[in-house]
Structures are given as structure tokens and as C-alpha cells.
Structure 1
Amino acid sequence: MPEPPDPRRFPRVGDPVVPVPRRRTPDEPPGLRDAVEAHVLGEHARGLAARKKLVLLLVMAATAALAMVAAAVLSVATGLWTAKPTIEAQQDANREIDAEKAPFTASIEYDENTQGAWIFVLGRTFTEKEQDALNAIAFEDSSGLLYGERLLRFLQPLGGRFLARSSYMDKGWPTWRMGAGYDATVFRMNLYSERAGQLSITGMEAVDLDCEPSRAETIVDFAPQGAAPYEGVLFDLSAGGSGPYITDPEPLENQGLPYFDVRRIDLGAGASPGGLRVEALVDGESCRWGILAHFVDASNKRGEVALLDEGEPFFAEAAPTDPVQHWIADVGRAVEGKPPLAPCHEDPGASGMCP
């Protein structure tokens, strides 16, 4: 007995109509879909079943994705491989540019502090009229200005020049001499570097020393009423420019030692400017001189920089050993109602402070 027909193989009334794709005849020109498949899959995919075409397309997409990943990995690897040499080359270039800048520069500020002991020198003698005006300056007045400051204001327009007394030190320095009449020119040297890399000043020395006897004829002397040490360095120009030596009062064991034996000055790399109080000592002779500073930079390269006063040598003036006029300020005379300045050149007994 024949089997009944399978209802799944035959459509029934009411079933939806499923369109059957029409196959292209051999002589019919290819449509858009055929052109895309041929372009993407290639001519060899013609005639393949739709399932095989899909598999081929998926394989090609996976291959393309892997190629893209491989390219990205290669690009990253190449970047990492070349990054270090590029950074090093840039750093080398920056260092070369930085090395072209001046290692450091110096600006000078002279100290004319009249609160301590001081000397004014003049290249000529006072006229009688100037002597009268000088004697009229009282030791104290209502202006509130120190006696030395009022003398300074009087003397500078006449050509008077300010000299300081040497600092008091508990310990001497290697070239210190007992009984020497040291005069001092004091200035603050501000050191600054624009370099990005750090450098250190490791030494200084006095150079181009040119000294001659003082040409001043007049001294106005405010003898020490006491002395104090200062933080800084001194150059002893009376001993061939030896130094610099430490003048700091603490620690005491360092006082009088060569400064750069125990210290250095760091500059550059954004460091704050370094300030150094410099005291140039002379004795009877005035000296022109310069400073040669030795440094080492971050690359361990060593060099030298000549330090001057706006392009000119420093000048340390000495008081004359045998002045034509010698005036000494004596507080005792002021107490007695006399002019504070004793004319020692006229009367050595005018004050117990006259030489």
C-alpha cells in the first residue's frame, strides 16, 4: 500500500508563497550583486554555492583583520624601537644649545655702610672753606642720620671715596700680617646662570693684579669703636692676591681657610642666584684686579669665566701711608664741645687717636 504524501513537501492552500531565486542564464549579463562578488571574492569564486561564498568571505575578512592587527603591532614595536634614540638625540641637541649659553654672569653692588669703621680718601687737600664746612658737621644732630652718613654726603660731591675697614676675624688667614694697616673694598657679587643644567663654581683666584702706591692726599678716618665678622670671603691683594678665604664666624674651625676647600657655589637648573660678600684687602697700594672662576657642569666639562665690574677690572683703593691731611673722628672731642674731626696733620696731640 503506497505511503501517504508528506504534507511538509507539498504546499497547502493558505501557505505563504516563497520566491525562488532565478538563476542567470549563461548569455545574460552579470548584475550588481555578481559584480560585487567578483570584485571582492575574485573570478575564481564564480559558480560557488552561496554557503561557500560566505565561508570564503569570512576567511578573507579574518585575514584582513589579522593583517591590520599585525600592522598595528609592528607600528608600535617600531615606535618603541626608535623612541629611545629619538629622545636621546633631542636631549643631546638640548644640551648643545644649553652649552652655548654663558656659564654664568656676575653683577656687583659696592658696600658703603657707614655704621661701622670707615675711611674716606680724597685725591687733594681741603680748601679752608671746605675745612670750615667739615668742622661744622656735628657728631649728632636732629636729622637722625649717622655722623658717617652725613660726612659721606658732604665728601662725595668733593670726590671723596669710601673705604671699609677689614673684617674682624678670630683666626687669621695664611697671608695675614701682624700690624698691617689693611683697607678694604667690599662688594656683593651676585652670580646667576641661565643654563638648564646644573653647574658648580669650584674655585676662584685673583688675576691681572696691578698695584701702585695710593695717590690720595687726604684721609678722613673714623677709627674702629669695635668690630664684627661678616659672612663671605676675602682676597688679600697685599699678598699677591691670595685667597679667597672664609670670613664667616661660624663654624670657627673654617674661618681663614681657603673657601673652595670646603665649599662650592651651585648655579643653573633654576637655582636661585648665588650671592657672595667679597672683601678685597690692600695695604698702602691701590690695586686693579680681576677674578677668574673655575667651574664644572653636569657633563663634567670644566671651564673658566673671567669676572669683572661691568667689563672693567675691580679697583681696591688704599689709604696713603703718609697723607698731606689726616683727619680722625674722635667722639671725646665732640663731648668737649670741639669739632669731632681732629686735624692730626696740624697737631698730632689734637687727639689721642692720632698716629
Structure 2
Amino acid sequence: MIVALLGWFFTYGLDYISVEQTTRRTKEVEESVDREGDPFTPSIREDREAIHFAYILDKPLSLAEKKEFLLKEDSDGITKAVAELVASHKGQGLEMPGLPESDGYTNTWIMDFFSDRAAGLTITALRAKKLNCTPAAAKAVLLIHPEGGGAYDGMHFDLSKPEVPVSLAPGPGMGKPYFSRKKIDLGNGATPGGLYAEVSSGIDDCEFIFEAEYRDAKGVYTREIENGQEKFKVRGIPANPGQVFAVTLEKVVDCGSRPWRKIEDCPPLPFRRGRYTLYK
């Protein structure tokens, strides 16, 4: 009887150990498969609802175009003329930064992060890497006098300090390192993470990629993020643009040519790195 009972316990123990080992191995295989491939998938898009407060043109205005532009005196005519010049002169709009202490006007992107991993992970940093900058190449600049605006709850990248994005959220954390107070949780059924990122390059044109740092139960890793199949591109305003126009709702002002003259409605020139406020 005792021998039979010992035999049963021995067989049961072997079965239990075998099941435990099989379960543990199955779990390890599942976790390994779960970690194969990309940890998350970014979806990148430009902010189509952005309001532009500056336009840079890659072709200068001719004398005839300049004369016609300066004759505009009503908001509808001015708005139409700006749109036509942007379209015909390879123009691009720039946005007012959501952070007062900015290195220049901004380009913005909205990023959504998706992960189908069963295990959770957390994005804890985002940095601009593989940065390449050259002096801004725009030939003409149209500056739109601001009529109001507000900050976004997102992050601001000053490419003179590409590894430390700061928060745009109103409150005591504004202007402080974004990831010192926030993180983006993904995987394990978490809601996809979203992020608004504005980037300023001052008086340069820059190209770069983002590098995300993320953590899971196994360690800390990085993942490169491109804008589709290419680098992100940010345009700046030249320190000494060939043409500068100040645009209000009532008029267009030619801010002159070098040496710069002090003209009402025009910004102090030349532009300097680290100062985007053009009318103070």
C-alpha cells in the first residue's frame, strides 16, 4: 500500500514538473514571438489645420509682382495674393511656436503610436538624430502679423538642443523636459499613444530623424522613426533674406533691402538665432 502510494506521488510529481516545464517553455516561446518585429508602429502626418504666421518662398518676387502685392489693401485681396504667391513661388508655411522661448518658427507633425504586443512597453524619450543643417535658403519671406493664438499640449523641439524636447502643456511644466513628467504607454491593450511635435530650426534648413527610447520588462531599447521613407525636413528663415514683407489685414509693407531700415510694422533685422519674436 505504501509502495503504491509512493509510486502514485512519484508519477504525479513527474507529471506536475513536466506540465510546469511545458507551461513555462510555452510562455517563453509566446513572449519571444510577441517581441519579434517592430515594438510599435508610428503613423506620421502633418498638421493640416495649422495656422501659418510666416511663409518662405524659394523664388523672389519680380518688380511687377512686388508692385502689385504692395497695392493690396483689403483682407480678402491680401489673403488671395499670399495664397497665389505661395503656390507660384514654391512657398511653405511656418507656424508660430507654442513656446515663447523658441529658436524660430516651426514645422509640426502629429504622431500616433500603435502596438499589438501582448506585453506592455513605454516610450520614455524622443530625440532628433542624424541632424544635418545648412543656412536657410529661402529667397523671400512673408511675415503675418499675429492676431492671437494658443499653445498645444504637445512637445517642442529646438534643433539647437535636439535631445531635449520640452512640454507645451500650459502650467508649471511648460518649457520643462517633456519626458521628465510624461511617458507613452503602449501594448498590453493600452490605447494608442498620440503626440503633437513642433520643431524649430531658427535660421537654418534641417533634416533629421527621430529616435524613440522605449522600455519593457526585458530592458531599454531604441527605434528610429522616419517621415515615411525619408528624413523629416524643417525650413527656417534666413538671417538676411533677400526680400521681407510684413503682412497685416489692411496692408502689405516692403521691409526694404539691406542695410535694413527701421520701418513701422517691420521686424528688427537681420534675424538672429534664438529669437523668433519679430515685432518686439
Q: TM-score, normalised by structure 1?
A: 0.64
Superposed CA RMSD in Å reads 3.2
Work out the CA distance in 2 between the residues paired with 1:98 and 1:150. Answer: 55
Percent identity for Structure 1 against Structure 2? 24
Q: CA deviation at 1:138?
A: 4.4
Give 3-state SS (helix, strand or coil) of 1:82's partner.
helix
Partner residue, 2:147: 225
Partner residue, 1:352: 264
Is 1:119 matched with 2:31?
no
Work out the CA distance in 2 between the residues paired with 1:294 and 1:281. Answer: 21
Q: 2:169 aligns with which of 248, 269, 272?
A: 248
Q: Deviations over 1:276-333 (max 9, x none)?
A: 1111112111111222111111x332211011111322111101122222121122xx
Q: TM-score, normalised by structure 2?
A: 0.80
Q: Deviations over 1:30-87 (max 9, x none)?
A: xxxxxxxxxxxxxxxxxxxxxxxxxxxxxxxxxxxxx9xxxx9999876544333222
Pairwise mapping of residues 1-355 of structure 1 onto structure 2 (< 5 A)?
80-113=16-49, 115=51, 118-128=53-63, 130-131=65-66, 134=69, 138-140=74-76, 151-152=82-83, 155-169=86-100, 182-237=104-159, 239-249=160-170, 252-297=171-216, 299-331=217-249, 334=250, 340-345=251-256, 352-355=264-267
Is the alpha carbon distance of 1:196 and 1:262 closer, same or farther for their aligned partners in structure 2, counting shifts above 3 Å? Answer: same
> Which amino acid counterpart does residue 272 of structure 1 have in structure 2?
T
Q: Comparing both structures, which one devotes a greater share of its residues to helix?
A: 1
Work out the CA distance in 2 between the residues paired with 1:148 and 1:194. Answer: 45
Q: Comparing both structures, which one devotes a greater share of its residues to strand?
A: 2
Following TM superposition, the consecutive aligned residue runs of length 4 or more in structure 1 with deviations greater than 4 angstroms are: 72-81, 128-138, 147-150, 346-351
Q: Deviations over 1:228-265 (max 9, x none)?
A: 2211111111x24242111100xx22111111111111
Alignment coverage as a number of residue pairs: 260
**8 A Cα contact 2:72 2:252, kept in partner:** no
**8 A Cα contact 2:60 2:89, kept in partner:** no
**8 A Cα contact 1:188 1:278, kept in partner:** yes
**8 A Cα contact 1:101 1:195, kept in partner:** no
Answer with 1 or 2: which has the greater Rg. Answer: 1
Work out the CA distance in 1 between the residues paired with 2:97 and 2:156. Answer: 9
